[in-house]
Chains A and B, each alone.
Chain A
Amino acid sequence: MFSFLNPWLALGALGVAAPILIHFFFRRRARNLEFPAMRFVLLSYKKVARKLKLQEYLLLLVRCLIALLLPLALAVPLFARSVPGIQRGEKPIEVVVVMDTSLSMTRKHGDKSLLQKAKDAAFTWMEGMTEEDRAGAIDAVRLEGVDVSADTGEVKEKIAAMGPAYRPARMNQSLMRAASKLSGIAEREQMILVFTDLQKYGWQKTLQRDSSLPPVYIVDVARDLAPDNVTITDLAIDWRALARDKAATLKATVANFGEEDLRQGMLRVEFGGRTVAQGFIDVKAGEKVEKSFTLTEVPEGAGVLRLAVEDGMSADNTYHFHLKGGQRVRTLIVDGEPGTSYMESETYFLDQALNPRLYTRSRINPRTVTPHELREINLQDYQVIVLANVGDVKTALTERVKSFVRQGGGLLFTLGDNVDADVYNAAWGDLLPRELRGVKQPYAGSQGKKEIRTMHLESLSPDAEVHPVLSVFQQPGQGDLGLAGFKKYFLLQQEVEPQSRIILRLTDGIPMMVESEYGRGKTVLFASSADREWNDFCIHPTYLPLFHQTVQYLADALVMKDAGNIKAGSAVDVPVPSDVVGARVLGPHGSSWEAELIKEEGSRRVRLEKTDMPGVYFVFFRGEEQDDKTADPASADRTVVINADPIESDLEKASTSQIKGWSGAEKVSIVNAEDPEQQEGESTIVKSAFAIHLLWILALLVVAERLLTRKG
């Protein structure tokens, strides 16, 4: 069979008539010339006449060929010959069944999903196999399978167990793996049988032709199925965590991949099965729209955007997300130097910053006490303790505080004149992120002068990876940390093997704020004072958000918004505290498993790999002396939100010629899904490289034409 990739260009081949017409009817006008030495003219012509005639006809032929071949080459000819459906020959066969389990195969065709239909077609075909035949199978998404063997029963079981995946197929890798499972021996007829809906993204990555692939037969189970589908492709959450609550805005992007417009489609925001917001959307065919929802009462936990429409594929009509944060943080501030008046106390500025009282809905609820009053207070009633310039560190206090942090509480140290480095180091021990090394007061100029130099914090780069406490400063308009000036601060022990994490530094590299873990809790050390004694930080606008964020961080109460941008099937690493020895994962639909703990120098994390299903995954940490927690999502230590890859929502099918160009196989056939031994309409082999040869021939013809006209 013969066809063209650009058929309309082939019409240019009619131009072959042009050289012929020009040759016979539109020759150059000759001038009349009376010439005396006619005898010599005749003699000369006689000698070259034959050669001239030959040259003339040769030139005509070359020009006709150029006029004919140029448009044909531009039209890209495709030679094909029919290849029948899967015809059995005399030899036993060896086949690998490649099953497309991508999300698009969850579509319904009649009362069955395409995946089920594909399985049924595979089983039907395999019933015709004999005892001498061999079969294997591969899941085209997960690339898992069973090797080729005589046990076709095992193969059928494997195929039956293949479930849908929420991500695209990987057809080229599947074909390569399938080919590697075949023995390649001549005594057996080798083939690969692919059951798929021909959704194009599963095929697009195939670029390299591989002549070693055996014949590939593709069974299109989605024949005559319209590619209608509307889906949520993206979600952006705007929820800023500062001193006051702000409404959270959810902006969803909805795409219509179908051929018909969507009118009055319902989009809902749900938490815990309850609709908290909803709205109608209209999306034209082939376009996207954005729909925003504003939540004034921001719930916490797993949420779902749900598109309530009847379309070709419902599996992608939900989009998961997770919101955390906004709960109140009970904070106990211990004033190590209470003044005679409130404003003179060590903790005046800190108290004002954590609860400005200008904003009625601050999440932080601080209570300020003296070290003496601390003895009567149950520390478990609080989530975070701030020890502000507390010099009296009796053992009773230190033991209580250590226990508090060990059990998950957060502790913030701010220093001052009351703090003695040796006493602190001895009293607090490992609870301090770093040992104190003495007070530093930098001087400017020569040693004889006593001019105190003011040091500043390092400013943050907008693109740098920063501690979660500092993330708020990367948003525009949050001020410059580098403006605060420090005249006095504690030097901290240098660590050869870092056990603590530096949050802030001065411009000369000296750590100013460091963090460490202690048991299940965290400790943050601020190496200067919280008031104006040692620095002017408290009068800068960055003071309030820094300590706000620090307290919320210590309470695990930082606003966390997960818009679910991680795609199904992706491996996710979750950092874990140092005392965690294991983690259990609670997946969507109640699945549960033990996650792999990875320990590397400087980091510990658990890896989530079984993320095929969209939804919220809850991670529960486990310490050495800890039993498994009740799998209550509310008590999860971490959450990870997974959504389906939206690329699978575009149901556009690859064309037959595209499949043949992309598949990499030399022999590709599309066969009848109902009867794979029958050939579909245009199942052929395509060799499109012929256009290159035509162009080479044309180049030679042009050179020949030039040579002939030059001699002519």
Chain B
Amino acid sequence: MSTQPGFLDPELMRRMQALELKAREVAEGVLMGIHHAPHRGRSIEFAEHKEYSPGDDIRRIDWKVYAKSDRFYIKEYEDDTNISSIILVDGSRSMAYGADGAKDEDGNPVPSKLDRARLLACALSYLLLNQSDAVGMGIMGERLTGFLPPRARQAHFHEITKRLAGMEPLPGTDIARSLADLVPMIKGRAMVIIFSDLLDDPEEMLRALRLLRSRRQEIVVFHVLDRDEIDFPFQRLSIFKDMEGPTRLTVDPRVIREEYKRHMDEFIARVTMECDGRGIDYNLARTDRSPGRLLTSWLGRRQALSASGARRTR
């Protein structure tokens, strides 16, 4: 951060420019992908799910949600007006992890989770602002910090970029508290897009998500995880150190690999199931996956969802 008021730190400037450039590149790629997608739309159309009550039009039942959750939900459409989006990025120290020397799908070096989250957040901001949606952001740590209210101005993109570029790893994580801090800041309905590794107390975190969802906010979760966290490929005897605490453990990773993967898979499955059950759009975002493809895939899926027979209700 610049030490002089009114002036940007040159390093920060550089990071901002690099981030913007990259985000635009990704966003342009996404837009290209969307234009070639079979399902087109004037804009991103977002649907809201409501639990089915007798008397609702059964043609609007979202069968995909039923398949995942065994519950009937119908889709309700908002007026074709621009909505607010709030992008939350997990700024905890655990997000600073990145595998050394790995390459992603495009052959580029795999970044840290934080860098990946930053890029995705930036690119998404660009896309939303491009279609005149209001975009805000916040940084999740032990509390919600760096909050920017949603604005639809193009210049807001730079502000977002600046905040994201200037993020430093925070000592701890409390996603639940951060989400709780967000609730009074949201005016009306908004889409909350979360970029986090979700490595927090799962019960509290899920409760917070459910609470937010109960306030009829659209929630999208990008679960950002490194390849190492998912595959646990380590071979050598290692002293594992917690990035957010004093815990350390010396163990041969080969001995615990099977058990670790089982726990991680269970965790991801649980979060997925909980999100699907609450109508939360869950996406696993591996850092070794191309960010452009990730966003393209997600946006395409959402377009297909809205174009598959949803009807606006007045």
Enumerate A23-47 residues with CB–CB distance to B below 8 Å: 27-45, 47
B256 A45 Cβ-Cβ under 8 A = yes
Q: Which residues of B are found within 8 Å of A89, using beta-carbon distances? A: none
Q: How far is the CA of A42 from the CA of B252 in the complex (A)?
A: 13
Enumerate A7-34 residues with CB–CB distance to B below 8 Å: 27-34
Q: How far is the CA of A27 from the CA of B239 in the complex (A)?
A: 13
C-beta contact mask, B230-271 vs A, less than 8 Å → 1, else 0? 000010111111111101011110111001101110010000
B260 A35 Cβ-Cβ under 8 A = no
The 7 closest A-B pairs by CB, nearest first: A36-B94, A44-B259, A38-B242, A44-B256, A44-B260, A30-B237, A33-B238
A423 at the interface (CB under 8 A from B): no
B256 A48 Cβ-Cβ under 8 A = yes
B237 A34 Cβ-Cβ under 8 A = no
From A37, A40, A41, A43, contact of B251 by CB (8 A) = A41
B133 at the interface (CB under 8 A from A): no
B197 at the interface (CB under 8 A from A): yes
B247 A42 Cβ-Cβ under 8 A = yes
Q: How far is the CA of A35 from the CA of B238 in the complex (A)?
A: 11
Q: Which residues of B are found within 8 Å of A32, using beta-carbon distances? A: 238-239, 241
From A31, A42, A47, contact of B237 by CB (8 A) = A31
Query: How close is A45's CB to chain B, nearest CB, in angstroms?
Result: 5
Q: How far is the CA of A47 from the CA of B259 in the complex (A)?
A: 8
Query: How close is B259's CB to chain A, nearest CB, in angstroms?
Result: 4
Q: Which residues of A are found within 8 Å of B254, using beta-carbon distances? A: 712
Q: Which residues of A are found within 8 Å of B282, using beta-carbon distances? A: none
A36 B229 Cβ-Cβ under 8 A = yes
Chain A residue nearest to B260 (CB atoms) is: A44
Q: How far is the CA of A45 from the CA of B113 in the complex (A)?
A: 25
B199 at the interface (CB under 8 A from A): yes
Q: How far is the CA of A37 from the CA of B241 in the complex (A)?
A: 10
A52 at the interface (CB under 8 A from B): yes
A31 B242 Cβ-Cβ under 8 A = no
Tell me whether A35 and B256 are in contact in the complex, defined as CB-CB below 8 angstroms, given that A30-B250, A40-B264, A45-B249 are known contacts. Answer: no
Q: How far is the CA of A47 from the CA of B260 in the complex (A)?
A: 10
Query: How close is A34's CB to chain B, nearest CB, in angstroms?
Result: 5
C-beta contact mask, B36-75 vs A, less than 8 Å → 1, else 0? 0000000000000000000000000000000000000000
B239 A39 Cβ-Cβ under 8 A = no
B77 at the interface (CB under 8 A from A): no
B236 A38 Cβ-Cβ under 8 A = no
Q: Which residues of A are found within 8 Å of B243, using beta-carbon distances? A: 34-36, 38
Q: Which residues of B are found within 8 Å of A38, using beta-carbon distances? A: 240-243, 245, 247, 249
Q: Which residues of A are found within 8 Å of B93, using beta-carbon distances? A: 36
A712 B255 Cβ-Cβ under 8 A = yes
Q: Which residues of A are found within 8 Å of B250, using beta-carbon distances? A: 30
Q: Which residues of A are found within 8 Å of B239, using beta-carbon distances? A: 30-33
Given contacts A38-B245, A44-B256, 8 further A-B contacts (CB under 8 A): A33-B239, A35-B228, A36-B244, A37-B229, A39-B199, A40-B264, A44-B259, A44-B263
A42 B199 Cβ-Cβ under 8 A = no
Residues of A within 8 A of B (CB): 27-45, 47-48, 52, 712
B249 A40 Cβ-Cβ under 8 A = no
Q: How far is the CA of A536 from the CA of B181 in the complex (A)?
A: 139
Residues of B within 8 A of A (CB): 93-95, 97, 113, 197, 199, 226, 228-229, 234, 236-245, 247, 249-252, 254-256, 259-260, 262-264, 267
Interface-centre pick from A27, A45, A48, A52 (highest chain B CB count, 10 A): A45
Q: Which residues of A are found within 8 Å of B113, using beta-carbon distances? A: 36
Query: How close is A708's CB to chain B, nearest CB, in angstroms?
Result: 12
Interface of B, secondary structure class, is: mixed
Q: How far is the CA of A37 from the CA of B95 in the complex (A)?
A: 10
B238 A40 Cβ-Cβ under 8 A = no
Tell me whether A48 and B237 are in contact in the complex, defined as CB-CB below 8 angstroms, given that A38-B242, A38-B245, A42-B249 are known contacts. Answer: no
Interface-centre pick from A34, A47, A712 (highest chain B CB count, 10 A): A34
Q: How far is the CA of A37 from the CA of B229 in the complex (A)?
A: 6
A-B contact pairs, 13 of them (CB 8 A): A28-B236, A31-B238, A32-B241, A36-B197, A37-B199, A38-B241, A38-B242, A38-B243, A38-B245, A40-B264, A42-B247, A47-B256, A712-B255
Query: How close is A428's CB to chain B, nearest CB, in angstroms?
Result: 107
Chain B residue nearest to A41 (CB atoms) is: B240
Query: How close is B193's CB to chain A, nearest CB, in angstroms?
Result: 21
Tell me whether A48 and B263 are in contact in the complex, defined as CB-CB below 8 angstroms, given that A28-B237, A33-B241, A37-B229 are known contacts. Answer: no
Interface-centre pick from A39, A42, A44, A47 (highest chain B CB count, 10 A): A44
Query: How close is B112's CB to chain A, nearest CB, in angstroms?
Result: 10
B97 A41 Cβ-Cβ under 8 A = no
B236 A30 Cβ-Cβ under 8 A = yes
Query: How close is A36's CB to chain B, nearest CB, in angstroms?
Result: 4
Q: How far is the CA of A31 from the CA of B249 in the complex (A)?
A: 11
Query: How close is A211's CB to chain B, nearest CB, in angstroms?
Result: 51
Q: How far is the CA of A158 from the CA of B228 in the complex (A)?
A: 94
Q: Which residues of B are found within 8 Å of A45, using beta-carbon distances? A: 249, 251, 256, 259
Chain A residue nearest to B200 (CB atoms) is: A39
Tell me whether A34 and B241 are in contact in the complex, defined as CB-CB below 8 angstroms, given that A44-B260, A48-B256 are known contacts. Answer: yes
Q: How far is the CA of A29 from the CA of B247 in the complex (A)?
A: 19
Q: Which residues of A are found within 8 Å of B263, using beta-carbon distances? A: 40, 43-44
Chain B residue nearest to A51 (CB atoms) is: B255
Q: How far is the CA of A44 from the CA of B267 in the complex (A)?
A: 13
Chain B residue nearest to A35 (CB atoms) is: B240
Tell me whether A48 and B234 are in contact in the complex, defined as CB-CB below 8 angstroms, given that A34-B97, A35-B97, A39-B199 are known contacts. Answer: no
Q: How far is the CA of A32 from the CA of B240 in the complex (A)?
A: 6
Q: How far is the CA of A34 from the CA of B234 in the complex (A)?
A: 12
B240 A48 Cβ-Cβ under 8 A = no
A40 B255 Cβ-Cβ under 8 A = no
Query: How close is A340's CB to chain B, nearest CB, in angstroms?
Result: 118
B247 A36 Cβ-Cβ under 8 A = no
Q: How far is the CA of A45 from the CA of B251 in the complex (A)?
A: 8
Chain A residue nearest to B229 (CB atoms) is: A37
Q: Which residues of B are found within 8 Å of A33, using beta-carbon distances? A: 234, 238-241
Q: Which residues of B are found within 8 Å of A31, using beta-carbon distances? A: 236-239
Query: How close is A711's CB to chain B, nearest CB, in angstroms?
Result: 8
Q: How far is the CA of A564 from the CA of B170 in the complex (A)?
A: 109
Query: How close is B297's CB to chain A, nearest CB, in angstroms?
Result: 25
Query: How close is B140's CB to chain A, nearest CB, in angstroms?
Result: 15
Query: How close is A404's CB to chain B, nearest CB, in angstroms?
Result: 108
Chain A residue nearest to B257 (CB atoms) is: A44
Q: How far is the CA of A48 from the CA of B257 in the complex (A)?
A: 10
Chain B residue nearest to A29 (CB atoms) is: B237
Q: Which residues of A are found within 8 Å of B241, using beta-carbon distances? A: 32-35, 38
